[in-house]
Chains A and B, each alone.
Chain A
């Protein structure tokens, strides 16, 4: 039985399998690490991100909590005081809201509240985002809510390798991290992953495609979309860079400024509502720091300022390649 559930030396994993492997690696390497969440044990989580882990590490380290996100996120803080390193799974994006108070009022403030002396080694994983034909409140993109909270890091992977490496790094960074997993691309395709995920710098964006004329800034599931748009732009004679932010707080200022200076045009794509979204923050940063280097205003292609629609309309609300191309054209013609 354990043969079946032990980590295989699989070379090709999809994003959710990479998360699973990274969690297994964390539990193996760090005896104080434990996983908490709803239905993560025998069931392996509703997305199977913890499949096989309870069998490997036992129900005390892969713990099925009673329902109640405020309670178990709050308890995770207490577990940290007891010297443990919890990794919490929130079942779906919107169910992070019951835990919001704990995250805002306590988790983010903890180190500050101890004069900088003690941090929480706590990761809260949240499958998030639209495009999965899900019921209401299973498609939200709450990154701005967390990015606005002092003391929390917000990290979003965009592919299997970044998922594994960022998760391992988040768990080791010594401060609380909200780790948003783009569930729409959980099973998008497999790519080769290393036997073990090595750590990576948590607050660095990645240039996933280089270009000179325009930068598409994206994260999570929107990276794939930005890459598709970049391919189309190339066919039209525009060389587009794609910058995968990965860290939404803190932002990788250097990579963003470099994008502005080197390509002169920066377009931001995200699923979350436009108002007060990451796009606004990126645009403001560029405006403040490198306005004179910009050849065109920074435009945004984003979700709408309304509740994420029921799924009949979700494709209308999500950014599309066409919307990105249209915005890019405006910037190129500017």
Chain B
């Protein structure tokens, strides 16, 4: 892939030397992050099939980009996820039960935003990006040194908020990374119906910021590129657009049927890029890990998710009265228990 930074896609010698440069600790940390995300995704799909959570947007294949986005940044940096990055908060220490509860439609699924410095999940595409700009701009205004990262899909780059966010970030010189995960599809809409630009990173030029392209199935390359963007942002260099070039290996979500709109042949072509297997191949051939210990890492992650799934049903039901009390700092009268459901005529007969 032309102009796309890769480590695992390089010739074997170059790959090994670059992995050795990253070092075993970092490489294993990245692998462990991916294992945690994969375990989450696998378990969530099972839970959906079992009817224990609702419809679920799988991120199978996006583990490399997502893991790198967390590991390349510092804990003080802000992340702004969409519906497809609901598990990144677990890489910041949040128990997986929390995002699982969200997919179960339970308010216990709202994670602690300030503690993990992960914003609430934004469902309308691209609308999270202005938030990321604000958080980054705020760092500049407060002379703090955190950066912010906002996730977007290829489809999201067509939405107005993508443009406004990129422009505002560049004008304000905000330390923000726009991480565009180009998986070539927006539900059933292919990239060519989304834009006439073939490389989404080129859009960066319109805003006067750098645009980088990286192999979305290569956690090591993603880490290196995102680290570079973060360093640039932190040192006052402003925003960067990073396009992770990949393919949506799975369906859009558990309710989606890709056979209606794309060819199984293309799916088969991309399937070997699955990022955990690919990372494992690299790590083993570089002598940085053996298959046994990588399997152990994955086993631990699966066990953790199984335990979280068992906890799901144990979360007590939250009442509407309790929820009504979370909308405002001081709850207005119409959300008080006496007025929440029916106005006072319900009590008038008494």
Contacts and interface: CB of A to CB of B under 8 A. Distances in A.
Interface of A: 34, 60, 65-66, 68, 70-84, 86, 98, 101-102, 105-106, 110-119, 150-151, 153, 173-175, 203, 249-251, 253, 285, 288-289
Given A77-B130, A81-B119, A105-B127, A118 B113 contact: yes
B138 A289 contact: no
B131 A75 contact: yes
B325 interface: yes
Contacts of A81: 78, 113-114, 119, 131, 134-135, 138
Contacts, number: 155
A78 B137 contact: yes
A253 B141 contact: no
B20 to A, nearest CB: 38
Given A106-B127, A114-B113, A288-B343, A79 B134 contact: yes
B134 to A, nearest CB: 2
A82 B127 contact: no
Contact of B122 (A98, A106, A111, A289): A106
Interface of B: 78, 80, 107, 110, 112-114, 119-120, 122-124, 127, 129-139, 141-142, 144, 148, 160-161, 163-165, 167-168, 171, 323, 325-330, 332-334, 343-345
Contacts of B127: 70, 74, 101-102, 105-106
Given A65-B168, A115-B110, A75 B134 contact: yes
Nearest to A153: B328
B114 A118 contact: yes
Contacts of B141: 34, 60, 79, 82, 84
Contact of A82 (B138, B334, B343): B138
A82 B119 CA distance: 11
10 contacts: A70-B164, A73-B130, A78-B131, A78-B137, A82-B139, A83-B138, A84-B138, A114-B112, A115-B110, A118-B113
Given A68-B168, A112-B327, A78 B110 contact: no
Contact of B332 (A71, A73, A74, A250): A250
A173 B80 CA distance: 26
Given A71-B133, A173-B329, 14 more contacts: A75-B131, A75-B137, A75-B168, A78-B119, A78-B130, A78-B136, A82-B136, A83-B138, A102-B127, A111-B329, A113-B120, A119-B329, A288-B345, A289-B344
Contacts of B124: 101, 105
A124 B139 CA distance: 21
A72 B168 CA distance: 8
A74 B107 contact: no
B110 A70 contact: no
Contact of A78 (B135, B142, B326, B328): B135
Given A114-B113, A175-B328, A288-B344, A68 B167 contact: yes
Nearest to A253: B333
Contacts of B110: 113-115
A116 B325 contact: yes
Given A60-B141, A76-B134, A113-B110, A203 B332 contact: yes
A287 to B, nearest CB: 9
